[in-house]
């Protein structure tokens, strides 16, 4: 195993043996030779690609440490973007077939890294479609395999593990949104990319599986459509066409009653989701029309004096001293959203032990001390002679 093959004949498994070696150096040399070999090929047989992916599976199996696993997952998925169209499609198909076959043999300690590998390949598939200007015909080739061989295999084909199906449903819409940020797909391509999960809902019958697929795929589409952001990646999806397709899937022969109910509910939802943003805009305009103008509120507040409480004004015939602090429910108990929060001295009621008198006059410098004392009314003098607790309770009662 010291020598790594750089060329092979059809059906030869030297690449698979080298890729599955326990030696890191051997695996690395085999992977470099495999990339160069695949880039030169215009076509590869199914048997050759299956043997290659058997070796790549154990090459990834032997990788340790998180950063090494992440780098290898990016390298393996990045090969998809460097191959010719026919070889790239076969490379992607044999990857999913290998995951379908080997999923039950993956232990819980290695499951996370293989789930990461699946996510990287789904992202690479969407990136490949984006680089081809979201060609609907090319997308149909990839989606047809995912639908007929992985999500809903028919006849005597191998049944896909539920964990792999759930993981594909979880990562499908997020990876599609990430790939469509720079260039949005056409409505026809979007419909092709979403359709496999309509067929999947019709084939499922367990409540947990139906809820998982509905939440991961279709609820995510609704959230994207209802999002107030201007960067809606799925806004070009034809909702009426999707609703009609869901209804047809539910009306098909052989669909279980539980699946039919879910499909009909989603069909009704997507018939109305197109009009939800317009309704929300109309509600916002109506709310703005009902809300009063802030400037008019300030004008009314300036004309109408706020209510005066005990001790808010101190005056006498022989003195022009006047307290300028006035308590107002509008200033103390009301706070408009979006405006700065008032200072604690304004928005909080008097404490049990006030730090200063509520009757304190601001213009102390201009008024003599004797005039201030002589101008106090008997009620204010009585309050000063009482204990601090009683004064605090009286001030709190006057405040509220």
Please report the pLDDT score of residue 353 as a whole number.
52
User: pLDDT of 258-275, one tens digit each?
Assistant: 999 999 999 998 888 765
Q: Cβ distance 212 to 164 under 8 Å?
A: no
CA distances (Å), 54 to each of 85, 165, 232, in order? Answer: 21, 21, 39
Query: 20-56 in b/e burial notation, b at 16+ Cβ within 10 A?
Result: bbeeeebbbbbbebbeebbeeeeebeeebbbbbbbbb
DSSP string, 252-275: STT--HHHHHHHHHHHHHHHHGGG
CA atoms within 13 A on the CB side of 263: 26
Indicate whether 319 pLDDT > 50: no
Alpha carbon distance 172, 64 (integer Å): 27
pLDDT category, 374, cuts 50, 70, 90?
very low
* Dihedral over Cα of 228, 231, 233, 238: its sign: positive
Residue with token string 């395999």: 145
Bigger pLDDT: 272 or 399?
Answer: 272
Q: Cβ distance 334 to 316 under 8 Å?
A: no
Of 243, 210, 208, 237, the residue nearest 221 (C-alpha)? 237
For the chain, the structural domain boundaries read 63-284, 308-399
- Token couple for 282: 């109309």
Of 250, 252, 152, 155, the residue nearest 209 (C-alpha)? 152
User: pLDDT of 196-218, one tens digit each?
Assistant: 999 999 999 889 999 999 999 99
What is the torsion angle, in degrees rounded to the nearest 10, for the CA atoms of residue 20, residue 24, residue 27 and residue 31? 140
Indicate whether 192 pLDDT > 60: yes
Average pLDDT for residues 131-152, to the nearest whole number?
93
pLDDT category, 96, cuts 50, 70, 90?
very high
Mean pLDDT of the chain: 77
pTM: 0.66
Alpha carbon distance 6, 378 (integer Å): 107
Indicate whether 388 pLDDT > 60: no
Please report the pLDDT score of residue 85 as a whole number.
93
What is the torsion angle, in degrees rounded to the nearest 10, for the CA atoms of residue 137, residue 138, residue 139 and residue 143? 100
Average pLDDT for residues 68-91, to the nearest whole number?
95
Between 133-147, 161-175, 185-199, 345-359, the lowest mean confidence (pLDDT) is in 345-359
Indicate whether 163 pLDDT > 90: yes
């Amino acid at each position: 195993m010291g020598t790594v093959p750089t060329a092979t004949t059809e059906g030869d498994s030297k690449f698979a043996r080298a890729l599955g070696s326990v030696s890191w150096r051997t695996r690395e040399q085999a992977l470099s030779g495999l990339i160069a070999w695949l880039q030169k090929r215009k076509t590869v047989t199914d048997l050759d690609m299956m043997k290659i992916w058997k070796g790549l599976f154990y090459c990834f199996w032997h990788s340790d440490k998180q950063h090494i696993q992440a780098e290898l997952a990016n390298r393996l998925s990045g090969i998809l973007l460097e191959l010719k169209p026919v070889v790239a499609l076969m490379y992607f198909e044999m990857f999913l077939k290998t995951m379908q076959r080997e999923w039950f043999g993956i232990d819980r300690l290695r499951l996370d890294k293989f789930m990461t590998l699946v996510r990287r390949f789904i992202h690479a598939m969407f990136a490949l479609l984006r680089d081809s200007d979201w060609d609907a015909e090319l997308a149909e080739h990839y989606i047809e395999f995912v639908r007929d061989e992985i999500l809903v295999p028919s006849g005597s084909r191998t049944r896909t593990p539920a964990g792999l199906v759930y993981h594909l449903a979880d990562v499908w819409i997020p990876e599609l949104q990430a790939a469509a940020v720079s260039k949005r797909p056409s409505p026809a391509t979007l419909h092709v990319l979403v359709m496999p999960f309509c067929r999947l809902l019709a084939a499922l019958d367990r409540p947990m599986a139906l809820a998982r697929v509905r939440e991961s795929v279709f609820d995510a589409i609704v959230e994207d459509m209802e999002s107030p952001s201007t960067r809606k990646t799925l806004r070009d999806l034809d909702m009426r066409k999707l609703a009609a397709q869901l209804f047809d899937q539910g009306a098909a022969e052989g669909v279980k009653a539980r699946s039919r109910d879910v499909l009909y509910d989603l069909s009704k939802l997507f018939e109305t989701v197109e009009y939800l943003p317009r309704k929300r805009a109309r509600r916002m305009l109506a709310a703005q029309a009902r809300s009063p103008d802030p400037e008019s509120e300030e004008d009314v507040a300036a004309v109408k004096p706020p209510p005066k409480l005990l001790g808010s004004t101190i005056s006498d015939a022989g003195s022009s001293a006047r307290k300028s602090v006035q308590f107002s429910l509008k200033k103390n108990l009301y706070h408009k959203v979006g405006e700065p929060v008032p200072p604690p001295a304004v928005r909080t009621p008097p404490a049990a032990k006030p730090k200063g008198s509520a009757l304190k006059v601001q213009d102390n410098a201009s008024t003599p001390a004797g005039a201030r004392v002589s101008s106090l009314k008997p009620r204010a003098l009585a309050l000063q002679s009482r204990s601090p607790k009683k004064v605090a309770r009286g001030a709190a009662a006057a405040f509220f």
